[in-house]
Amino acid sequence: MSTEPTLLRYMTRFRCIAERCEDTCCTGLKVPVGEAHLRKMQEAVANSPEDAAHLHQHLLTNPGGPLSERAFIQMRPDGHCPFLDTERLCALQRRHGEAVLPDICANFPRVVTRWGERVEISGTLACPEVARQCLLEEDAVEPEPALALSQYVPRPEAARDVRVDGEDAYTFHAETVRAALLRLVHRREYPLASRLAMLGQLAHGLDDFYFRGTESFQGEARAESEARLSEELQRFESPEVLEAVHQDFGGLSLPGGPCVGLFTSVLKARMATGRGERFTTLVRGVLESLRLDDDSPADLDAAWRTYAERWHRLEALHGERARLYFHNYTLHQLWRAPFTDTPSLLEYVFRLALRVGLLRLTLVGHLRVAELCLTPSPTAGSQEQLDGAAVETFQLLAKHVEQAPGFLTLAEGLAGEGRSAETLGKVLVFAAF
């Protein structure tokens, strides 16, 4: 297997747009400070009593935490970093240089992951410019060799490690399994919903022997389990198998009201934690356009019908464009978020389907999309408007929902534990949404 660093093509095009950015990276994020940088920061401000007091006041130390999280920067109540100055620049960097920044600030919005010997570079959609580059171009999520790593990432050494350990079958076979998932997502002759169902079926087939901490690959059982893994992956290369999953899945009729209730409660819960004006405006718009914004008991089935009709309309007007956003998002997620972070592949696919469902509801509920769907045919500038709404939706959810502890706990609870068929059933419900 190649050890050459790779990066996703859109990251070769990414440039921070600084003062033209509709957001800022210095708000709404959790900023851990590693031990080495904590010392560097403290030494840098030592000669300035004012800076030292400011730093002391806004650092929450985490003495028992991992080396990479020995402290956190405590954000202001409005979510902004306390070091963000009136010109929207970092006061620490301005006064003490780039070297003093915590790794996450120096590398943001780049995401660096080390799979064994190999480094991969992607980005976080929490940055609007990354979201634009990633979602709107056909070839955005193609991997490329990254020969001069430092040209793309200020601190490649701050990579997250996916330990690939010959004794741990889950990580040892992870690249092969991910390659199979990527091939399935590339089968664009099928709707994304069917491809998610295929991922779910594949993960379900592996669920009883391939998971974190599995002992099925130990000792004499190893050869048999490896053969079974390879057989299962191979099965999902077969056109007949894919067609059968597509047909079975297409025949399912699933109620969408409960999904609307779940997704809107996630959005409302995040809005209630004060995530800033852009997020609040987006969520209020979604609730208003689906008529879920007043105090009367919510008619979720009516909201579901509105959603379904509008999605249908969006497909008719701008189907190709809308499909591109979700295709790129799904591929990107497989690159950017290693499935080995979750206890099982099925749980990972479940979370992916949940995210896609939430994004679909939010995009379709976006006020600008609702307006576009009222037009009889695409108009000049309508694709640009749709792109703008999509970038805003994917970026704000990446920043304010997808990594929120409450959302992750909810996803974990919903996925259930040890009930593979039930989890697969939920994957299908969200995929169908």
- Sites of contact with ligand SF4 (CB under 6 A): 16-18, 21, 23-25, 109, 127, 129
The 8 Å CB, 24+ separation contacts for 334-339 are 334/178, 334/181, 334/182, 334/185, 335/8, 335/120, 335/122, 335/141, 335/143, 335/182, 336/111, 336/113, 336/122, 336/123, 336/124, 338/113, 338/115, 338/162, 338/174, 338/178, 339/174, 339/177, 339/178, 339/181
Both tokens of residue 166?
């010959």
Specify the residue, 28 or 32, whose C-beta has the smaller distance to ligand SF4: 28
Give 84's Cβ-side CA count (13 Å radius): 17
Closest to ligand SF4 by CB, 1 or 17:
17
Of the pair 24, 344, the CB lying nearest ligand SF4 is at 24
The DSSP output letter for 84 is B
Whose Cβ is closer to ligand SF4: residue 80's or residue 187's?
80
The nearest distance, CB 78 to ligand SF4, in angstroms, is 17
Q: Closest distance between ligand SF4 and the C-beta of residue 22, in Å?
A: 8
Tell me the three state secondary structure of residue 279. Answer: helix
| CA–CA distance, 51 with 178 (Å, rounded to integer) | 46
Smallest separation, CB 262 to ligand SF4 (Å): 29
Query: Both tokens of residue 188?
Result: 């664009």
Contact 326, 362 (CB under 8 A): no
Beta carbon of residue 392, minimum distance to ligand SF4 (angstroms, whole number): 13
Give the C-alpha distances (Å, rounded to integers) separating 196 from 172, 182, 242, 352, 367: 24, 11, 11, 8, 27
Work out how close the CB of 84 gets to ligand SF4 at its nearest, in angstroms, rounded to a whole number: 11
DSSP string, 194-207: HHHHHHHHHHHHHT
The smaller minimum CB distance to ligand SF4, of residues 21 and 179, is found at 21
User: Is the CB of 18 or the CB of 244 nearer to ligand SF4?
Assistant: 18
Q: Is the CB of 18 or the CB of 36 nearer to ligand SF4?
A: 18
Minimum Å gap between C-beta 127 and ligand SF4 is 3
In the bound complex, what is the minimum distance in angstroms from residue 210's beta carbon to ligand SF4? Answer: 37
Residue (16 or 244) nearer to ligand SF4, CB: 16
**b/e map of 87-126 (b: 16 or more CB within 10 Å)?**
eeebbbbeebeeebbbbbbbbbbbbbbbbbebbbbbbbbb
User: Taking the complex as a whole, how short is the minimal distance between the CB of residue 63 and ligand SF4, in angstroms?
Assistant: 30
Cβ 390 to ligand SF4 shortest distance, Å: 17
User: Nearest-5° angle of CA 249, CA 255, CA 261?
Assistant: 125
For ligand SF4, which is the closer residue by CB, 129 or 232?
129
Give min distance, CB of 395 to ligand SF4, in A: 9
- Residue 166: how many other CB atoms lie within 10 Å: 8
Cα–Cα–Cα angle for 324, 325, 327, rounded to 5 degrees = 60
Least spacing, CB of residue 206 vs ligand SF4, in Å: 37
Residue closer to ligand SF4 (CB basis): 26 or 290: 26
* Alpha-helical runs (H) found in 77-143: 91-96, 103-107, 128-135
Alpha-carbon separation of residue 164 from 171, 175, 298 (angstroms): 5, 9, 48
Can you tell me the distance from the alpha carbon of 373 to that of 6, in angstroms, rounded to the nearest whole number?
A: 39
Question: Which residue number, 16 or 36, has a Cβ lying nearer to ligand SF4?
Answer: 16
